[in-house]
Structure 1
Amino acid sequence: MSVFATLVEHLADLLHPLLGASAAAGAIVLFTALVRLLVHPLSRAAARGQKARTELQPKIAELRRKHAKNPEKLQKAVLALHAEEKVSPLSGCLPSLCQMPAFFLLYHLFSNTTNPLLTHELFAAPLGNRWADALGDGGAFGGAGLVYVGLFALVACVAVFNFRRTRRMMAANPAVPVVDGQPVPGMGAMSKVMPFMSFFTLFTVAVVPLAAALYVVTSTTWSAVERAALYR
């Protein structure tokens, strides 16, 4: 973990002539963007897998209608379809899972209270403090509070963008995901909740240290732009 902290500190030193006291915050944003750039090939692989599975949904739906009374035959037909089209039922899932360790690592790095980066500030807001600290030190529109106002505004814009985009995608492809010809349990309810998931980032930003909040906001914004480009 100290290796990554050292890298961010070096980035902060490089950015100091440009950003001054906010160089550490800038380094967190830049380091997060660089890591997201490194795992971008996995995102592309996930997008290809998702598109491949989506394209099979009409054929799978037809098989379900054809073999509705014979689950065993339906399962074999679906497996044969995946084999014929050279598409794994888990296409798009594994690349996404492979990215998770990097995201957890960064979150832990920027929320660890022993990290010396958290002693720096973004304008008037210490990177180790939380929104509650900002409210107690000048209120919502004090120096530190205004930093959070800006973050909340950005997260809200990204959340609305993701909400609208997810609703459009679900309207265009309303089919419930299936595995081996059967609907995935719980996915119907999950599909209804999914468009609202981005708004939970607002809660995350409010309760984690500002350094971690910067990571979350940067990563969330990157994801929104990346997915919009990959899933056109």
Structure 2
Amino acid sequence: MDLFALPPLALLLDLATRAMLALTTLLDPLAGSTAAALAVVVVTLVVRLALIPVGVSQARAEQSRARLAPRLRMLRERWARNPERLQREALQLYRDEGASPLAGCLPVLAQAPVVGLLYAVFLHDTVGGHANELLADELFGVPLGRSLVGALSTGTTDAATLAVVGTLVAVMALVAEMTRRLLRPSVDPTTPPWVTGLGGVVHFSTAVVAAFVPVAAGLYLAVTSVWTLAQRLLLRRRYPLPS
């Protein structure tokens, strides 16, 4: 079932498509055939600018979690045989200190609707009863609506598709590795080891997703991953973790 066939979501999709078309037309004299791709980059930057306060809150929360780590470790030692009591005590500690163990999820959750809508815009051949003109736009010869997995399944893969999607995946993988190396996470001592290990894998999940989504959505993910790394490095200097 296509959720965007529902009237409210169909209207939202139509409005988003019209907005992208208007922005593409505006950028056409500057970017020509890559105007739609540039429009995706502009939308990404606007979203990231709007989310700067969320990023600041995330940095503060990470600093707080690192500061609370010794006390959380003591709670874990004290209530190791009582997981329910440990969870209650840890949550109470977070509340008392005005911190949140879930603050790091806010940027991802805030962007999810934008990524989903952008995915839908470049996935539908028709929007509002009209042909989706955005699907004719390209990035270095690759339609913005094409995905690597889709091209492989239909036998339409070419060198340009492999190069463009491969570059996007490589950028995201590089950013993920730099994030892992440069940004030491503040680990909650009450967090099970398997959750911590999963967090390391999640860093690279965006690169995997880029192979399944349209090139337009992959471009959004690549730009936002670079922005996120740069922003976190700057904020880490402003809100350093305890040594």
TM-score interval (norm. to shorter): 0.7 to 0.9
What residue is the counterpart of 1:125 in the other structure? 142
Out of 148, 158, 162, the position equivalent to 1:139 is 158
- 1:34-66 superposed Cα distances (whole Å, 9 cap, x missing partner): 122222222222222222122211111123334
Out of 160, 165, 172, the position equivalent to 2:174 is 160
What residue is the counterpart of 2:98 in the other structure? 86
What residue is the counterpart of 1:24 in the other structure? 36
1:43-192 equivalent positions in 2, closer than 5 A: 43-66=55-78, 68=80, 78=90, 81-94=93-106, 96-114=108-126, 115-131=132-148, 133=151, 139-140=158-159, 144-145=160-161, 148-167=162-181, 169-170=183-184, 173=186, 175=187, 177=188, 183-184=190-191, 187-192=192-197
Higher RCO by CA contacts (8 Å cutoff, separation 6 or greater): 2
Change over 3 Å in CA distance of 1:112–1:51 after alignment to 2? farther
* Structure 1 residue 91 displacement after superposition: 4.1
Please state whether the residue corresponding to 1:207 is helix, strand or coil: coil
* Structure 1 residue 26 displacement after superposition: 1.1
Please state whether the residue corresponding to 1:231 is helix, strand or coil: helix
Change over 3 Å in CA distance of 1:75–1:19 after alignment to 2? closer
Please state whether the residue corresponding to 1:129 is helix, strand or coil: coil
- Alignment length (residue pairs): 218
**Identity score, percent:** 35
Change over 3 Å in CA distance of 1:218–1:168 after alignment to 2? closer
CA–CA separation in structure 2 for the residues paired with 1:74 and 1:217: 39
CA–CA separation in structure 2 for the residues paired with 1:82 and 1:137: 52
The answer (yes or no) to whether the contact 1:42–1:99 under 8 Å persists in 2 is no
CA–CA separation in structure 2 for the residues paired with 1:70 and 1:199: 34
The answer (yes or no) to whether the contact 1:49–1:91 under 8 Å persists in 2 is yes
CA–CA separation in structure 1 for the residues paired with 2:199 and 2:83: 29
In structure 2, give the amino acid aligned to 1:81: L
Change over 3 Å in CA distance of 1:94–1:149 after alignment to 2? closer
Please state whether the residue corresponding to 1:51 is helix, strand or coil: helix
- 1:59-100 superposed Cα distances (whole Å, 9 cap, x missing partner): 111233345567677566545533442334444445653443
The answer (yes or no) to whether the contact 2:118–2:216 under 8 Å persists in 1 is no
Change over 3 Å in CA distance of 1:78–1:191 after alignment to 2? closer
Please state whether the residue corresponding to 2:204 is helix, strand or coil: helix
What residue is the counterpart of 1:208 in the other structure? 213
The answer (yes or no) to whether the contact 1:118–1:127 under 8 Å persists in 2 is yes
Instruction: Establish whether residue 42 from structure 1 lines up as the match of residue 59 from structure 2.
Output: no
Please state whether the residue corresponding to 2:122 is helix, strand or coil: helix
Structure 2: which 5+ residue stretches go unaligned? 1-12, 127-131, 238-243
Structure 1: which 5+ residue stretches go unaligned? none
Instruction: Establish whether residue 9 from structure 1 lines up as the match of residue 21 from structure 2.
Output: yes
Give the TM-score taking structure 1 as reference length: 0.74
* Structure 1 residue 24 displacement after superposition: 1.2
* Structure 1 residue 117 displacement after superposition: 0.8
Q: What is the root-mean-square deviation in Å for CA atoms of aligned residues?
A: 3.3
